[in-house]
A = this chain, B = another copy of it.
Amino acid sequence: MSESSYSVTELALLLGAETVTSDYLIDGIGTLESATETQLSFLHNSRYQSQVSASAAGAILVTEAHRKDVQTVALVVDDPYLAYARATALFANNGRAVSQLVSPSAVISSDARVAADAVIGPHVVIGERVTIASGVVIEANCVIGTACSIGENTRLAANVTLYSDIEVGKDCLIHSGAVIGADGFGFANSNGDWVKIHQLGGVNIGDDVEIGAGTTIDRGALDDTVIGNGVILDNQIQIGHNTIIGDHTAVAACTAIAGSTRIGKRCTIAGACAIAGHLTIVEGTHITGMSMVSRSILQPGAYSSGTAAEPHQQWKRNAVRFRQLDEMSRRIKKLEKTVKQQNIEGQP
């Protein structure tokens, strides 16, 4: 819940819409269906066009084409969805107001350098030689290991864990339960026993990165694991050691990326994918949900794998056939040969 309000004139100005003159106050955002008369709404998908004229919203972000559908005030922009995104920043209050800068219950190493205006929540633990820049907010119960550095205005939600030697850029947001810098899964095998390869690298996270709840990013074996600028990672993603994720790449929830894979810039990887280790995935690759990527992708484009849900009994029959596919293929080939032979023999 927000306590901000803006006149329609101000909103038009702030969101880059065509100028509107109105003192009418807007105090929130709602969907076309649910917005009240003091809320802003938006038309993002023409599927919802019919809802525009029925909407009670006090102002609606639309493109020129839909201006006439709005019964209240139209705020005309090129990209209503983008304008909506910008509007959410105006009405967000981050909901986790702090009453003091450094909680007395935080345990901060004496040689950590914490900016005077940084906020350190209750029960936070900050290790030796940590650097916390101006405007940083570390919420309750986070643990920051030795020699980490956190850039300006970055925010860690409650219960985030950073191991040692993690570098986080500025303007990042890391959600609760994320673990950055745990050991990569590296072991040598000695007569059947696993011998640990201690992970001596760190993690390097760029600027403007968002990391979702419960996401884990492992430290490198020797070199660092690297997350580029502007990368957005959803919840419960796993990123193996020494993986490199290019700038502005987006990864949706529950995707697992194994170690030493390099993903290019501006890729989108949907949820629940599994990407093997030591691969190269080029800039501009888009991978759909639940795909298995076991080879490098060297041409930009969209890639998929898997099979979609169907009624169980029908699936059972098809899934059995999957295991006969190679045999089926051979039978087709044999049939083609036989039929061709018959054709020849059948010729007069």
By a beta-carbon cutoff of 8 Å, the part of chain A in contact with chain B is 1-2, 28-31, 34, 79, 81-82, 84-86, 88-89, 91-92, 95-97, 99, 103, 105, 107, 109, 121-123, 125, 127-128, 139-141, 143, 145-147, 157-159, 161, 163-165, 173, 175-177, 179, 182-183, 185-190, 192-200, 210, 212-214, 216, 218, 221-223, 230, 232, 234-236, 238, 240, 248, 250, 252-254, 256, 258, 266, 271-272, 274, 276, 286-295, 297, 301-326, 328-329, 331-332, 335-336, 338-339, 342-343, 345-346
Contacts and interface: CB of A to CB of B under 8 A. Distances in A.
- A-B residue pairs, 5 tightest by C-beta: A95-B164, A92-B198, A272-B274, A302-B312, A88-B198
Contacts of A1: 147, 165, 200
B323 A312 contact: no
B343 A188 contact: no
A345 B345 CA distance: 13
B332 A328 contact: yes
Contact of A253 (B176, B185, B195): B185
A48 B287 CA distance: 30
Given A185-B252, A266-B192, A301-B312, A346 B342 contact: yes
A230 B335 CA distance: 53
Contacts of A325: 317-318, 321-322, 325
Contacts of A199: 88
Contact of A342 (B86, B96, B286, B343): B343
Contact of A177 (B179, B185, B266): B179
Given A198-B88, A309-B292, A95 B235 contact: no
Contacts of A338: 339, 343
B303 A309 contact: yes
Contacts of A302: 311-313
B128 A121 contact: no
A206 B319 CA distance: 38
B139 A143 contact: yes
Nearest to A195: B85
Contact of A218 (B79, B235, B321): B235
Contact of A121 (B125, B187, B221): B125
A308 B293 contact: yes
A141 B179 CA distance: 13
